Amino acid sequence: MNYIRNILNSRSSSNGNFFLQLEKIIGFKPKTKSLYVKAFTHRSMNVKDKNGAAVNYERLEFVGDAMLGAVIASYLYGEVPQGDEGYLTKMRSKVVSREHLNELGKELNLINFVESKIPKNNFGNNIHGNLFEALVGAIFLDRGYKYCEKFIYKRVIDAHVDIETLEGKVISYKSLLIEWCQKEKKTFDYNVYEDTGNDDIKHFSVKLSIDKKVVAKARATSKKKAEEKASKRAFFALQNKISRPF
């Protein structure tokens, strides 16, 4: 592909050798280099291959997500033999949470490799986790399960996974609060409304009520973020009453 050749040439001249930098991160020499170029190509480049398929990292994200889930599941299954299905599922969710994947992508500075027509400071925070998943997907398709597993152990499990710490980590305050309300037979309501005010970007506000009493308010750039923010505030306001299930 001419596109692949052009990207390799431009990266070699402007950012140093792309693959030399990448090898330091993944720990081996790539075989199918086009996979790694694709793993760091944003859809805004609007490039297609000879078959008309889009050349960007989104499909590799799908593969990487599946591989992360499989390797983490296998690790937890062996590490916590007493854990039932529900426990293992929640623990895996904590390891591969969007927040954690974003942290991993930032740690490796993967955004520095991205080819995009959008300025990097305009990307949302999830770009970091998306790139990490795409890189995992590229490793699997390039070198297979063993290489992929080794990379995940080095960069995720050995570096960041501690069972006791994970057990106490909350990945969704909204889920935790709803679970507590259902357990205690309390009613709850998230009253969300658009609240742009003087901001250029659309904002949403939420009033969280439990048993018809407002316990927390929050504002954010999406309904989901506003609800999670209000839930977190409610949790800390009510933490003496709320027991934290796994």
Which sequence spans correspond to the domains of the chain? 2-167, 173-237
What is the 8-class DSSP label of residue 217? E
H or E segment and range at residue 35: helix 33-39
Q: Which are the catalytic amino acids?
A: 65, 133
- Cβ-based burial of 179 (10 A; exposed 0-12, middle 13-18, buried ≥19): middle
- Is the CATH code 3.30.160.20 the one for domain 173-237? yes
Provide the token pair at 13.
Answer: 């001249």
Full 3-state SS string of 38-97: HHCECHHHCCECCCCCECCCHHHHHHHHHHHHHHHHHHHHHHCCCCCHHHHHHHHHHHCC
- Separate counts of helices (H) and strands (E) for the chain: 12, 3
Contact (Cβ atoms closer than 8 angstroms) between residue 104 and residue 132: yes
Query: Distance between CA 207 and CA 37 in Å, rounded?
Result: 45
pLDDT at 13: 43
Helix axes 127-143, 98-107, angle to 10 degrees: 80
Contact (Cβ atoms closer than 8 angstroms) between residue 160 and residue 94: no
Tell me the per-residue pLDDT of 124-178, one tens digit each, with 9 for 90 and over.
889 999 999 999 999 999 999 999 999 999 999 999 999 888 887 777 888 888 9
pLDDT at 185: 93
Tell me the per-residue pLDDT of 17-74, one tens digit each, with 9 for 90 and over.
889 999 999 999 999 999 999 999 999 999 888 888 889 999 999 999 999 999 999 9
Q: Which CATH number fits domain 2-167: 3.30.565.10, 1.10.3210.50, 3.30.70.100, 1.10.1520.10?
A: 1.10.1520.10
Query: Distance between CA 211 and CA 125 in Å, rounded?
Result: 35
In the predicted structure, residue 180 carries a pLDDT above the cut 80: yes
Compute the Cα dihedral for 40, 43, 44, 46 and give only its sign. Answer: positive
pLDDT at 81: 93
Tell me the per-residue pLDDT of 88-115, one tens digit each, with 9 for 90 and over.
998 999 899 988 999 999 999 999 999 9
* Whole-number CA gyration radius for the chain: 21
Instruction: Give the angle subtended at the CA of 216 by the CAs of 215 and 220, to the nearest 5°.
Output: 160
Reported pTM: 0.72
DSSP secondary structure string for all residues of 160-198: H--HHHHHT--S-HHHHHHHHHHHTT--EEEEEEE--TT
